[in-house]
Homo-oligomer: A and B are copies of this chain.
């Protein structure tokens, strides 16, 4: 830790800009989604996973893996969503420890109504005005960072 590789000016600016964008965009998306559809970004993410799945049912641990949520966080969140009637649970015949998470008609209705507004918001705040090159780069950076994260994990 003696010769610290501090960020140069350009990196510094890029990093601060990224952090600022990230937090403000997140906050705005959350508020919009909440106001338009009474869902949080997290609710939305769970419902998307459920509708994307073949039978509209997913094992809890699968959800935890794809969303990369702690199992505890998932458990608390699903409990709240179940209380609100957005999801339900079904027994898993092949493994009595686990459960299937299913989307309810209420949950289905919620995501169907929320999705168009949300996409419109994402488009308006993010994609409109970006060039194809920027969108292209936008994909290469996360790819790179996710590689780094994976490498860092098993160190």
Chain B residues whose CB sits within 8 angstroms of the CB of A27 once the complex forms: 68
Q: Are B146 and A21 in contact (CB under 8 A)?
A: yes
Most chain B beta carbons < 10 A, residue from A13, A26, A128, A139? A139
- Tell whether A125 is near chain B: CB-to-CB under 8 Å: yes
Q: How many copies does the complex hold?
A: 2
Residues of chain A at interface, number, CB under 8 A = 53
- Tell whether A130 is near chain B: CB-to-CB under 8 Å: yes
Q: How far is the CA of A84 from the CA of B14 in the complex (A)?
A: 32
Secondary structure of the A side of the interface? helix
Chain B residues whose CB sits within 8 angstroms of the CB of A135 once the complex forms: 10-11, 14
Q: Are A119 and B4 in contact (CB under 8 A)?
A: yes
Chain B residues whose CB sits within 8 angstroms of the CB of A125 once the complex forms: 145, 148-149, 152
10 contacting pairs across A/B (C-beta < 8 A):
A7-B119, A17-B139, A20-B146, A24-B146, A24-B149, A27-B68, A126-B145, A129-B144, A130-B141, A134-B144
